[in-house]
């Protein structure tokens, strides 16, 4: 999916680098209900560097996605966020497509993720990208709210 508007900015994918840790942590905390600290972000990066991608709008981080190796055949999306101002412009889709491509090249056969059961926007987004709900995980989050597990083949 190509962004519908970019305000004249140059979009580019880059690999996460440790110098972006504070900005990514900030975006994660502004976008999601869980609280993340810089150590968590760095731990995710160090566990699977190729799976941590930023989408830049000029010098600004417009969004990011990161994941982990869940099993030999399955990857997992851990965090995905797009800056509020850029949402519904195709950037989340670009990040997800890029991530899925990296998973395919790494030999994975499927991808899973967890999403809050009340996060209707993200659930619609993932459904649109071929994910299906496979189970409900009760009390999954730190505030004891539930998660849907979603899954798709690559």
Ligand X SMILES: CC(C)(COP(=O)(O)OP(=O)(O)OC[C@H]1O[C@@H](n2cnc3c(N)ncnc32)[C@H](O)[C@@H]1OP(=O)(O)O)[C@@H](O)C(=O)NCCC(=O)NCCS
> Should residue 51 be labelled a site residue for ligand X when binding is judged by CB under 6 A?
no
Residue span binding ligand X (CB under 6 A) among the ranges 43-51, 85-93, 99-107, 136-144: 85-93
Longest dimension (CA), the chain: 44
Instruction: State which of residues 7, 58, 107, 121 lies at the interface with ligand X (CB under 6 A).
Output: 121
Cα gap 49→92, rounded to integer Å? 19
- Cβ distance to ligand X smaller for residue 81 or 102: 81
Q: Return the residues of window 13-32 that contact ligand X according to CB under 6 A.
A: 31-32
- Cβ–Cβ < 8 Å for 136, 150: no
Residue span binding ligand X (CB under 6 A) among the ranges 16-24, 38-46, 51-59, 74-82: 74-82
CA 82 to chain centre: 9
- Cβ distance to ligand X smaller for residue 55 or 108: 55
> Should residue 78 be labelled a site residue for ligand X when binding is judged by CB under 6 A?
no
How many residues touch ligand X under the rule CB under 6 A: the total is: 21
For β-strands 74-82 and 60-69, DSSP reports them as antiparallel
Cα gap 89→40, rounded to integer Å? 28
- Cβ distance to ligand X smaller for residue 67 or 90: 90
- Cβ–Cβ < 8 Å for 77, 65: yes
Say which residue the tokens 């991808």 belong to: 111
Instruction: State which of residues 16, 99, 125, 148 lies at the interface with ligand X (CB under 6 A).
Output: 125
Cα-based torsion angle of the residue sequence 133, 141, 39, 98 in order, rounded to the nearest 10 degrees: 20
CB of 67 to ligand X, least distance (A): 11
CB of 96 to ligand X, least distance (A): 7
């Amino acid at each position: 999916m190509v962004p519908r508007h970019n305000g004249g900015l140059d979009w580019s994918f880059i690999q996460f680098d440790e110098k972006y840790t504070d900005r990514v942590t900030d975006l994660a905390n502004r976008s999601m209900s869980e609280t993340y600290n810089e150590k968590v972000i760095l731990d995710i990066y160090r566990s699977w560097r190729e799976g941590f991608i930023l989408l830049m709008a000029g010098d600004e981080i417009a969004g990011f996605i990161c994941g982990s190796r869940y099993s030999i055949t399955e990857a997992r999306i851990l965090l995905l966020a797009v800056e509020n101002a850029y949402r519904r412009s195709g950037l989340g889709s670009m990040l997800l497509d890029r991530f899925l491509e990296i998973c395919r090249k790494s030999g994975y056969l499927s991808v899973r993720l967890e999403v809050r059961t009340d996060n209707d926007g993200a659930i619609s987004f993932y459904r649109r990208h071929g994910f299906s709900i496979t189970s409900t995980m009760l009390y999954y989050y730190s505030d004891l709210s539930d998660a849907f597990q979603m899954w798709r083949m690559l």
